[in-house]
Structure 1
C-alpha cells in the first residue's frame, strides 16, 4: 500500500493530507495555523481523533513540516509515501498543466512571486521543506492558474497597452482552476453530458469566490484576473472596482500602494460592507435580527453573482448546468435560493425541498430551467485532483 502526501501552503497556514493512491481515501490530515505568529498550532486528524499541538510562538512552515514528518514517522507511514503533491497558486503563462518539480520548475514558480506575492512564497517554502525531507521522492506542482490557460485572448487580455502584456505578462490568469476542473469532470459524469459538447458554469463560492465558463470541458472565461482580487464580491475582497479608486484613495486619504492593496483584499467585500463579518453564516443570522449592514452585504454579493452568471452564458452560447460548490456554494441554502430567484427570468425554478436538503456533503439538483439546464450542488475536492495529477505524472516516469 502506498500513499500520496499533499501540501497546501498558505501565507500563515499549511494544510496536509495523506491519501491512499488506489482507494483515494484520506488516511490522515491536518492544519497548521497562525504560522509565523504567536500561538502557532497544528491540528492533526487520524483514526477519528483530532489532536491539537502547539508549535511554539513564531514557528513557521518549516516547523510545521518537521512536525508532520515526525507525526507520519510515529504512525508508521513515512516509508509508505510514494510521492508528494503541492498546490501552487500561480504558474504564470509557463504552466498549462501540473508539472514534475525540478530546479527549472522551482525557478519558474519563484519568477511568478510578483504575480502572487502572498501565496507563491509560501508554496515554495512547502516545496523546499518537502524536498529537504524527501530528497529522493518525486514531487509534483499543481497550479491554480493552469486550467484557465485555455481561455482565448478575448477573455484573458485587458484593454491596456499591449506592450504591458508582451513585456510584463499582465493579463487575466484566473484561479481556483483545480476546483473548477474537478467540478467540470464531475458534472459531465453526473449528468451524462458529452464532454465534447457541453456548457457548464462552475460557481466556486467561499471566502474567495470565482465563476468559470467551461465549454467542452475547457475553461473559456473566469471572473478572477491578474490576481484573485478581480471578479465577485468575496469575504474580504472587493471584487470588481473602478481602477480610478486607487488614485482617489492615494490622493484623498494619503494611502500608499500596500495600504490600498490591504484595504481592497482584506478589509472589503462582505466584511467591508457589513462592518460586521466576512462569514455568511454570521451575516444571515444578523440580517434576520435586522442588521442593515449584514442584509445589504448579502444582497450586493448575491446580485453581483447573479449578474455575472448571466454574462458567463455568453462565451458558452447555451447552458447545460449551473453548479454551486465551495464552502458557501455547498452549504449556504439561502444564497443559492436567492441567486436562482434572480435567474427566474431565464426559467430557473428552485426546488425548495431539494435545496434545503443539500448541504453538509449532500449533493443534488436544486432547480432547473427548461432552456438553461439544471442548477445543482456538487462538493469540490481539490486535494483529490492533486493526488490524481501526482499519480499520473509519477506513473509516467
Structure 2
C-alpha cells in the first residue's frame, strides 16, 4: 500500500472506518464502533475485519475520543498498527456542505468551524461529523484531514431544480434551497456505469436510484447532476427506512395545531418513526419480506407505497432528462432486493425499461446489466462504494 487512506464516517453514537488502498481500490480494514456514549445495560461494541480475520471489543465507549482509542487498539491487535501505516490522509464524510463547500476540502480550524456552523442545516449529522473530525485531528496531528461533502455533487444543480417556490428573501436569509445528499454515491455510481458499459460519461443520460436505509434518486446528464430527490435536508423524496420522504407541509401544521405535537416531536416522528418503520413496524427489508410472507397486510402496503414512490420519481426524471440511456439501482436495497427492483419496474416497458427476470435474480458484487436484450433503456445494478470515492478524493487532494 503506497498511499493508505483512513476513511471515517462519524455518527452521533457510532463510527465507521476503513483503511483503503485507493490505487488498488481495496479496503484493507473495515471497522464499526457502536453505542458510543450510550448509557444502559448494553455495552459499547466494535468489530474490526482485516486479512480475513475479525477482532472485537466489548465495553464502555464513553465518547468519540474513546472510540478512536478503541480503533487504534484493534489495529494493534490485528498486527497493523495505524500509527505505523504511513497514512497519507484521513478522509471524512461530511453530510452538509451548504453553499460554501463543493470540492473536497483540507480541514483546518476555520473549515471545522464552518462545518459546525452548517449544523443548522443538518442537525442530525454535521455535529457528529465534526466530533469525529476533531478527534481524528487530535489522534493524527501530522496527517492531512480532508472533508468530502455529501452535497457536493448537487451544488451546481440548475436553478430551476434547486429553488423552492417560497419568498426569495426568506429563502436567501435562511439558506433554503435544494442541496441534495448521497452525492458521493451518485457521482461514483454514474462513473462506474459509464466504465462498465464502455461509454463516454458525457454521452449518457442516467437515473441513479440509491436505495438503502436512506434513499434518494438523481438525474444525471453528461456526468452532471440536474435533479435529485432530497432537498434542504435528507428528509425529502423517497420513502426510507425511518423517514417519511415527500409530505404535504400542511401535515406538520395539522400535527402541531390539532395534535399538539411540538416541533421536536414532529421532527422525531418524520425522521425516526416514519417510512418503512412507521408503516410496517420494521425498517429492514429482510424483516419486511418475512412479514409479507406471513400475510401481514401492513407490510404489504408498506412495500407498495415504497415502490410506488420510486416509480413516480423514475417517470418524473425521464421527463427531466427527455429520456434516459441507463437506470441504475445501488445501495443496500437497490443492490440486493431483486423483488423490489422487479416491482419498481413492472409495467414500465412502455417507457423503455424491460427487465430480464433471470438476470435480475442473479446476486453478484460486480456491476451488471439486468435489462433484457433490446431494452431501449439499459437497467443496471452497480454496487456503490462511497468510502473508496472518499479515499480517492482525499488522496487526489493531499498528493
| Pair 1:310-2:315 in alignment | yes
Distance between the aligned counterparts of 2:24 and 2:276, measured in 1? 39
Structure 1 match to 2:286 = 281
Aligned equivalent of 1:89, options 84, 91, 95: 95
Deviation by residue 1:235-291 (Cα, 9 ceiling, x = unmatched): 1111000001111111222110000011011111111112x2111111122112211
Distance between the aligned counterparts of 1:210 and 1:124, measured in 2? 24
Distance between the aligned counterparts of 2:70 and 2:290, measured in 1? 38
Q: CA offset at residue 71 of structure 1? A: 3.0
Superposed, which structure 2 residues align to 1:44-55 within 5 Å?
44-55=48-59
Q: CA offset at residue 205 of structure 1? A: 0.2
- SS of aligned partner of 1:230: coil
- SS of aligned partner of 2:146: strand
Structure 1 match to 2:131 = 125
Structure 2 match to 1:253 = 259
Q: CA offset at residue 183 of structure 1? A: 0.4
Distance between the aligned counterparts of 1:339 and 1:33, measured in 2? 33
Structure 1 match to 2:204 = 198
Structure 1 pair 104–170 and aligned structure 2 pair: CA distance change class (3 A): same
Unaligned runs of 5+ in 2: none
Q: CA offset at residue 107 of structure 1? A: 1.7
TM-score of the aligned structures, taking structure 1 as reference length: 0.95
Aligned equivalent of 1:189, options 195, 207, 221: 195
Structure 1 match to 2:383 = 379
Superposed, which structure 2 residues align to 1:30-179 within 5 Å?
30-37=31-38, 38=40, 39-56=43-60, 59-73=62-76, 75=79, 76-79=81-84, 80-179=86-185
Structure 2 match to 1:297 = 302
Aligned equivalent of 2:353, options 323, 348, 353: 348
Moved more, 168-177 or 103-112: 103-112
- The 8 Å contact of residues 347 and 368 in structure 1, kept in 2 or not, is answered as no
- The 8 Å contact of residues 330 and 377 in structure 1, kept in 2 or not, is answered as yes
Structure 1 match to 2:233 = 227
Structure 1 pair 158–370 and aligned structure 2 pair: CA distance change class (3 A): farther
Distance between the aligned counterparts of 1:369 and 1:269, measured in 2? 35
Aligned equivalent of 2:278, options 245, 253, 272: 272
- SS of aligned partner of 1:124: helix
Superposed, which structure 2 residues align to 1:321-340 within 5 Å?
321-340=326-345
Distance between the aligned counterparts of 2:138 and 2:338, measured in 1? 45
- The 8 Å contact of residues 358 and 377 in structure 1, kept in 2 or not, is answered as no
Higher RCO, 1 or 2 (CA under 8 Å, sep at least 6)? 2
- The 8 Å contact of residues 32 and 43 in structure 1, kept in 2 or not, is answered as yes
- The 8 Å contact of residues 22 and 388 in structure 2, kept in 1 or not, is answered as no
Q: CA offset at residue 335 of structure 1? A: 0.2
Distance between the aligned counterparts of 2:393 and 2:382, measured in 1? 20
- The 8 Å contact of residues 3 and 395 in structure 2, kept in 1 or not, is answered as no
C-alpha RMSD over aligned residues: 1.5
- The 8 Å contact of residues 303 and 342 in structure 1, kept in 2 or not, is answered as no
- The 8 Å contact of residues 88 and 142 in structure 1, kept in 2 or not, is answered as yes
Q: How many residues are aligned here?
A: 392
Deviation by residue 1:144-189 (Cα, 9 ceiling, x = unmatched): 0000012111001111110122211111100000000100110111
Deviation by residue 1:289-315 (Cα, 9 ceiling, x = unmatched): 211000000011001101111101222
- The 8 Å contact of residues 88 and 144 in structure 1, kept in 2 or not, is answered as yes
- The 8 Å contact of residues 205 and 220 in structure 2, kept in 1 or not, is answered as yes
- SS of aligned partner of 1:313: helix
- The 8 Å contact of residues 5 and 20 in structure 2, kept in 1 or not, is answered as yes
- The 8 Å contact of residues 55 and 64 in structure 1, kept in 2 or not, is answered as no
Distance between the aligned counterparts of 1:131 and 1:172, measured in 2? 31
Distance between the aligned counterparts of 2:231 and 2:376, measured in 1? 26
Distance between the aligned counterparts of 1:366 and 1:330, measured in 2? 11
